[in-house]
Amino acid sequence: MKINVDDFTKFLSHENIHAQRSELLKFQVFNKLPSVAVYPESYEQVSEIVKYCNENGYSVIPFGSCTKVNFGNIPTTYNVALSLEKLNKILGHNEADFIITAQAGAKFKDLQDFLISKNQFVALDPPQIDKGATIGGIIATNDYGPSRFRYGTFREQIIELVAVGTDGKIFKGGAKVVKNVAGYDIHKLFVGSMGTLGIILEASIKLYPVQEESLTFITGISDAGMLRSYIKKILDADLVLSALEIMNPELSSDIFRLSGIRPINFPHTLVLRIENVRKAVIDQMELVKNMLNSGGLEGAVIENDNLLWSYLRDFPYAGDKNCIACKVSVMINEIPGVLEYIQEFSENLDIKIYSSAKAGNGIVQLLIEGENKDLEIAVNLLRSYLTTMMGSLVYQHVPHDFGKFNTWGDLGASSHLMQTLKQNFDPNNILNPGRLI
Amino acid sequence: MNANYDVIKKRLEAILEPESFMHKEEEIIAFECDALTYYRVKPVFVVLPSTNRQVSEIIKVCDEYDMPFVPRGAGTGLSGGALPVDDGVLISLAKMNQILEIDIPNRLVVVQPGVINRSVSEAVDGFGYYYAPDPSSQIVCTIGGNVAENSGGVHCLKYGVTTNHILGLEMVLPNGEIVELGGKNQEYPGYDLLSIVVGSEGLLGIVTKVILKISKKPQLVKTLFASFDKIENAGSSVSGIISNGIIPAGMEIMDNTCIKAVQISVKAGYPEDAESILLIELDGPTAEVEAQLPIVENVLRENSAIQIKIAKDETERELFWKGRKSAFAAMGRVSPDYYVQDGVIPRNKLAEVLTKTKQLSEEYGFTIANVFHAGDGNLHPLILFNSENEGEFEKVERLAGEILRICVEAGGSITGEHGVGFDKKGYIPLMFNEDDLDTMQLISCTFDTKGLCNPGKLFPTPRSCAEHGMTKERALELENKVEGELF
Ligand SMILES: Cc1cc2nc3c(=O)[nH]c(=O)nc-3n(C[C@H](O)[C@H](O)[C@H](O)COP(=O)(O)OP(=O)(O)OC[C@H]3O[C@@H](n4cnc5c(N)ncnc54)[C@H](O)[C@@H]3O)c2cc1C
């Protein structure tokens, strides 16, 4: 579709309309480039742009910092890149009530750094925040990190959302209070909606007090049977863990090297983190040591653990590897079996797998490196294995030239409701068409 | 009355066992209201299905004849959410009360919607687990009702509300189709429809199965209260504790009117002369609770607590909580009637809002007692009155509305846990404008194109879906009928 770039001057000043190929490259999604990239500076401008695109049938993809362009299916059409980069303000911090409000284009890291200076934080540790991941982008993709074990995902943290619908209406869901049941929870629906229902403008998020102390325990485990029994022991113990990850040797050797920890060579490396007031951390760590040591495991306590967790947070990071990054979701007690399966089948293929399991959430994050044809075999094998246990596998990154693929797999028994929802929110299918639905 | 009354009756009778179908006045009277008893409407039929198939068939009949229907759990709702529609069917889920599966390794329980909240915890207690959301009504209210209202409890500050503990559910859509949302895993691809259905107040369909997350019971629980001569000090203790990095399981404030009433009814050991008390519960691993307790005591002293009392054993702990949990009922000892309001404010606005409600209380001439989920800013002002006095309830309603206005002006919400239902739909515009409501309507229309499922609730004015669906006139007609019954 030929789109009339000049029309955008009705809503935007010239410097906020980019149509040069060089300026558009960063908005490339797989093999598709937009005809124009726009940088609105106000909610009204976003509203006008979306309404105009809707009326003209131009498809729009919203962007924060472009850290996750290869997440989602290849868009069926793509005309306009809508950057939220200039809507990046922190709008309000109610320090006494532990709530912050920020615009979608605000960088998560800026927000977190600001809050930490006030001894508060957003209880999320999503990947790529050092590369500028934005609030809107993290909400849309439902990104999270290891602390999901204790604090959940953005769904648990978001309390209010302001967005623009395809008809240009600016609407909100939720309220700026930590408890509220008025109206439908539209703010939660938008978490993970991949920019397909509306353009997120602003979010209010609840905050937590910074914890006084953090300690991490690391130990190696030699087989799946032991892994199963230790996961159970840890989950059943009287401990409040912030995170619990099980890494495979490929990943643990990389991460330990980067964070300056002496590598241990075991099929599984278990890493757990405890954060709390100081005495509570120290006392609980004693319990962990006693419990695991009595089972014959030798472990180490890591004191300055921030670096280690920042590497785990950023995993899986594709970088310039030819790879697929994906996440697997199963029931909690399937995790040891899934890890065993992954280890076995990777040996028979010409691929390298890095994996980390969120053992308490039934989630495994994977980075599979290899040639496209081997990657394809690997993910197909994994997907068919997972169907036996009603598990899912979602791609978070695929190579540019991967060909045809389906990011989401089977959307399940309610997929027709999802279709209807999309149709109702976006009747002309202009928002990120094809990426999710 | 629906012109097809006889046909519908026959069709429903064919679906249900005789004892599960009611149409006589004396049978249906028990279903004419929920716990907001000031509003009463008699439905045409009451049905008590025992399977999801039956629910589906009933709804197909309703869909075929455009007959509205209202789901009902235990009827403890405080916003008129389960108030019947006068030409509709009331569908009680009370007979679908089986716990279907307990899966400890995966920390989940699968239940039918009519299962009582407390029975879930009881069923897994022996394994060392419990179901965290604990509304004060937990010995009677159902999981289906909890899901619809997204109910909270006294421990939701630390553990969250219903929506944080639901993994999946099965529901019958308003066209009779049975669908599943979510499941036993913690994550599924696609839109998070579950987060919309939880808290949708029974407007999107009938929930027939729920997969609940269960939690491990804490190793140690410490309950204490502190008394204050200024409610502001109780309030600043709350922020002080949180700022120290401690999230207690629960923090509850009661004012003097409340304390006095509670002391008359249950003798919870609260100091009767205190202007307010703050009840705190710390729970978790022993190592954590023991480390946190001295910090909490310190904060309380810094905020001029007059007395700090730590429950010395389980009996005393239960007594402290009994006082709090019976606060609503205790009002019955000091007043013929009371109206429970449910509003939320930013936690730093407590003093300001209480001063304003006090002014209102004087202006309107009604005593207002305050109990307050202080940790999350959820106020429950209790307005004391006598419904026998001509016109008093109407005045109380106006006062209750004024309180909501104050909450919203302070940056808060018109409901923290009881829902909007029939009672508060007129106040929704205080929080949401037409564009917000139009967007919510897109969700209603995704599930219920005809607007047959629990109509006349949650939204201030009837709306219809773009294509087919209920006409505005028809919706207004429904509306008027309910009002007609009331005043
Ligand atoms: C003394 C007292 C104390 C209370 N304390 C609390 C408290 O601490 N916290 C709190 O949050 N609430 C509290 N409540 C309110 C009430 O108990 C809750 O809202 C509860 O969840 C209602 O459950 P129920 O089974 O009684 O539902 P009902 O009142 O029967 O119905 C409530 C709503 O749910 C819908 N519904 C019921 N079942 C289904 C289903 N299967 N599918 C779809 N929709 C359905 C109904 O249509 C209605 O809209 C209290 C009430 C009382 C009377």
Position B243 scores a pLDDT of 85
For the complex shown, is ipTM > 0.90? yes
Say what percent of chain B tops pLDDT 70.
95
CA gap B274, B269 in Å, rounded: 12
Average pLDDT over residues A155-181: 98
Q: Identify the band that residue A144 occupies on the pLDDT scale cut at 50, 70 and 90.
A: very high
The top-level CATH class assigned to A319-414 is alpha beta
B115/chain A closest Cα distance in angstroms: 22
Packing angle of the helix pair A278-294, A224-236 (nearest 10 deg): 140
Position B471 scores a pLDDT of 44
In this structure, which topology does domain A213-313 adopt according to CATH? Alpha-Beta Plaits (3.30.70)
Average pLDDT over residues B280-285: 95
Residue to substitute in B54, B72, B112, B328 for testing ligand 1 pocket (most ligand atoms within 8 angstroms of CB): B72
Contact status, residue B22 vs residue B47, Cβ threshold 8 Å: yes
- Residue owning the nearest CA to atom 5 of ligand 1: B136
Backbone phi, then psi, for B254, in 5-degree steps?
A: -125, 140
Same domain? B232 vs B315: yes
Q: Identify the band that residue A70 occupies on the pLDDT scale cut at 50, 70 and 90.
A: confident
Say what percent of chain A tops pLDDT 90.
90
In this predicted model, what pLDDT tens digit does every residue of B162-197 receive, in sequence order?
999 999 999 999 999 999 999 999 999 999 999 999
Q: Which of B178, B236, B413, B434 to mutate against chain A (most A CBs within 10 Å)?
A: B413
Contact status, residue B179 vs residue A417, Cβ threshold 8 Å: yes
- Cβ–Cβ below 8 Å for A177 and B443: no
Position A263 scores a pLDDT of 84
In this structure, which topology does domain A90-209 adopt according to CATH? 3.30.465
- Cβ–Cβ below 8 Å for B285 and A155: no
A361 near B CB under 8 A: yes
CA gap A139, B195 in Å, rounded: 14
- For the record, the structure tokens of A158 come out as 């978001």
- Pocket flag, ligand 1, residue B207 (CB < 6 Å): yes
Question: Is B351 a residue whose pLDDT tops 90?
Answer: no
Q: Give the nearest chain B residue to A241 (CA atoms).
A: B285
Q: Identify the band that residue A264 occupies on the pLDDT scale cut at 50, 70 and 90.
A: confident
Average pLDDT for chain A: 95
Q: Which of A198, A116, A364, A264 is nearest to B443 (CA)?
A: A198
Position B477 scores a pLDDT of 57
Position B431 scores a pLDDT of 98
- Pocket flag, ligand 1, residue B92 (CB < 6 Å): no
Give B187's contacts in chain A (Cβ within 8 Å). 327, 329, 361-363, 392
- Pocket flag, ligand 1, residue B90 (CB < 6 Å): no
CB atoms near residue B6 (< 10 Å)? 9
Q: Which of B132, B191, B189, B206 is nearest to B163 (CA)?
A: B132
Average pLDDT over residues A86-114: 97
Contact status, residue A60 vs residue A80, Cβ threshold 8 Å: yes
What spacing in Å lies between the alpha carbon of A178 and ligand 1's midpoint?
Answer: 20
Contact status, residue A434 vs residue A422, Cβ threshold 8 Å: no
What spacing in Å lies between the alpha carbon of B201 and ligand 1's midpoint?
Answer: 9
- Pocket flag, ligand 1, residue B119 (CB < 6 Å): no
Alpha carbons within 13 A on the beta-carbon side of A305: 20
- Cβ–Cβ below 8 Å for B346 and A170: no
Q: In sequence order, what DSSP letters do the residues of A355-380 get, joined into one string?
A: EEEETTTTEEEEEEEE-HHHHHHHHH
- Pocket flag, ligand 1, residue B193 (CB < 6 Å): no
CA gap B100, B111 in Å, rounded: 5
Residue A356's identity, in one-letter code, is S
Position B476 scores a pLDDT of 55
Residue B466's identity, in one-letter code, is A
A320 near B CB under 8 A: no
- Pocket flag, ligand 1, residue B453 (CB < 6 Å): no
What spacing in Å lies between the alpha carbon of A188 and ligand 1's midpoint?
Answer: 21
| Closest residue to A238, CB basis, from B193, B286, B413 | B286
The top-level CATH class assigned to A5-83 is alpha beta
Say what percent of chain B tops pLDDT 90.
88
What spacing in Å lies between the alpha carbon of B446 and ligand 1's midpoint?
Answer: 24
CB atoms near residue A167 (< 10 Å)? 18
A213-313 and A319-414: identical CATH topology? yes
Same domain? B345 vs B360: yes
Question: Is A355 a residue whose pLDDT tops 90?
Answer: yes
Residue to substitute in B32, B33, B36, B78 for testing ligand 1 pocket (most ligand atoms within 8 angstroms of CB): B78
Q: Which of A56, A107, A106 is nearest to A80 (CA)?
A: A56
Q: Which of A215, A230, A326, A318 is nearest to A269 (CA)?
A: A230
Q: Which of B112, B116, B99 is nearest to B50 (CA)?
A: B112
Query: Which run of H or E residues covers position B258?
Result: helix B256-266
- Cβ–Cβ below 8 Å for A185 and B245: no
DSSP β-bridge partners for residue B339 = B383
CATH number at residue B158: 3.30.465.10
Question: Is B481 a residue whose pLDDT tops 90?
Answer: no
In this predicted model, what pLDDT tens digit does every residue of A197-228 receive, in sequence order?
999 999 999 999 999 999 999 999 998 899 99
**Taking the alpha carbons of A115, A118, A124, A130 in that order, is the dihedral positive or negative?**
positive
Q: Identify the band that residue B484 occupies on the pLDDT scale cut at 50, 70 and 90.
A: very low
Q: Which long-range contacts (CB under 8 A, 24 or more apart) does B470-479 make?
A: B470/B66, B475/B451, B478/B68, B478/B85, B478/B87
Same domain? B407 vs B474: no
Q: Give the nearest chain A residue to B150 (CA atoms).
A: A181
Q: Identify the band that residue B470 occupies on the pLDDT scale cut at 50, 70 and 90.
A: very low
Query: Which single residue is written with the structure tokens 């207004």?
Result: B476
- For the record, the structure tokens of A364 come out as 């495994």
Q: Identify the band that residue B472 occupies on the pLDDT scale cut at 50, 70 and 90.
A: very low
A25 near B CB under 8 A: no
Give A228's contacts in chain B (Cβ within 8 Å). none
Average pLDDT for chain B: 93
Same domain? B174 vs B277: no
Q: Which of B12, B15, B13 is nearest to B53 (CA)?
A: B15
Question: Please, which residues have CB within 8 angstroms of residue A262's CB and are 6 or more apart in sequence?
Answer: A256
- Residue owning the nearest CA to atom 32 of ligand 1: B145
What spacing in Å lies between the alpha carbon of A159 and ligand 1's midpoint?
Answer: 22
Same domain? B103 vs B207: yes
Same domain? B149 vs B133: yes
| Pairing label, strands A299-302, A213-221 | antiparallel
Average pLDDT over residues B224-239: 93
CB atoms near residue A154 (< 10 Å)? 26
CA gap B406, B349 in Å, rounded: 11
Contact status, residue B304 vs residue B274, Cβ threshold 8 Å: no
Question: Please, which residues have CB within 8 angstroms of residue A73's CB and are 6 or more apart in sequence?
Answer: A405, A406, A407, A408, A434, A435, A436
Chain-centroid distance of CA B273 in Å reads: 31
Same domain? B230 vs B321: yes
Give B286's contacts in chain A (Cβ within 8 Å). 238
Q: Give the nearest chain A residue to B290 (CA atoms).
A: A280
Q: Identify the band that residue A385 occupies on the pLDDT scale cut at 50, 70 and 90.
A: very high
Q: In sequence order, what DSSP letters do the residues of A187-256 get, joined into one string?
A: HHHTTT-TTSS-EEEEEEEE-EEPPSEEEEEEEEE-SHHHHHHHHHHHHHSS---SEEEEE-HHHHHHHH
Question: Is B21 a residue whose pLDDT tops 50?
Answer: yes
CATH number at residue B312: 3.30.70.2190
Q: Identify the band that residue B482 occupies on the pLDDT scale cut at 50, 70 and 90.
A: very low
Packing angle of the helix pair A335-347, A372-387 (nearest 10 deg): 150
The domains of chain A are located at: 5-83, 90-209, 213-313, 319-414
Question: Is B3 a residue whose pLDDT tops 90?
Answer: no
3-state DSSP assignment of residue A180:
coil
In this predicted model, what pLDDT tens digit does every residue of B357-414 receive, in sequence order?
999 999 999 999 999 999 999 999 999 999 999 999 999 999 999 999 999 999 999 9
What spacing in Å lies between the alpha carbon of B149 and ligand 1's midpoint?
Answer: 6
Same domain? B120 vs B209: yes
In this predicted model, what pLDDT tens digit does every residue of B422-440 receive, in sequence order?
999 999 999 999 999 999 9
Q: Give the nearest chain A residue to B244 (CA atoms).
A: A209
Give B200's contacts in chain A (Cβ within 8 Å). 184
Position B473 scores a pLDDT of 53
Average pLDDT over residues B416-423: 97
Q: Which of B175, B185, B194, B237 to mutate against chain A (most A CBs within 10 Å)?
A: B185
Q: Which domain holds residue B459?
A: 426-486
Residue to substitute in B136, B210, B422, B458 for testing ligand 1 pocket (most ligand atoms within 8 angstroms of CB): B136
What's the structural domain count of chain B? 5
Atom of ligand 1 nearest to the CA of B76: 26
| Pairing label, strands B337-340, B378-385 | antiparallel
Q: Which of B74, B42, B69, B76 is nearest to B55 (CA)?
A: B69
Question: Is B485 a residue whose pLDDT tops 80?
Answer: no
| Closest residue to A212, CB basis, from B161, B245, B284 | B245
Q: Identify the band that residue A312 occupies on the pLDDT scale cut at 50, 70 and 90.
A: very high
Query: Which run of H or E residues covers position B222?
Result: strand B220-228
CA gap B121, B130 in Å, rounded: 4
Alpha carbon of A91 to those of A59, A101, A204, A324: distances in Å? 29, 5, 9, 37
B256/chain A closest Cα distance in angstroms: 25
B348/chain A closest Cα distance in angstroms: 6
Q: Which of B296, B329, B362 is the last residue of a domain?
A: B329
Give B195's contacts in chain A (Cβ within 8 Å). 155, 185, 188-189, 191
In this predicted model, what pLDDT tens digit does every residue of B43-99 receive, in sequence order?
999 999 999 999 999 999 999 999 999 999 999 999 999 999 999 999 999 999 999
Position A224 scores a pLDDT of 87
- In terms of phi and psi (left: phi > 0; alpha: psi -120 to 50; beta: otherwise), the region of A243 is beta
Burial B35-47 (b: 16+ CB within 10 A, else e): bbeebbbbbbbbb
The size of the A-B interface in CB pairs under 8 A is 255
- Pocket flag, ligand 1, residue B77 (CB < 6 Å): yes
Q: Strand A243-247: give its sheet, edge to edge.
A: A299-302, A213-221, A268-276, A243-247, A351-358, A363-370, A323-329, A392-397
Same domain? B309 vs B357: no
CATH number at residue B64: 3.30.43.10
Average pLDDT over residues A122-133: 96
Atom of ligand 1 nearest to the CA of B142: 25
CA angle B412, B416, B417 (to 5 degrees): 170
Q: Give the nearest chain A residue to B164 (CA atoms).
A: A156
- Pocket flag, ligand 1, residue B384 (CB < 6 Å): no
Q: Give the nearest chain B residue to A417 (CA atoms).
A: B446
- Residue owning the nearest CA to atom 53 of ligand 1: B76
Same domain? B130 vs B176: yes
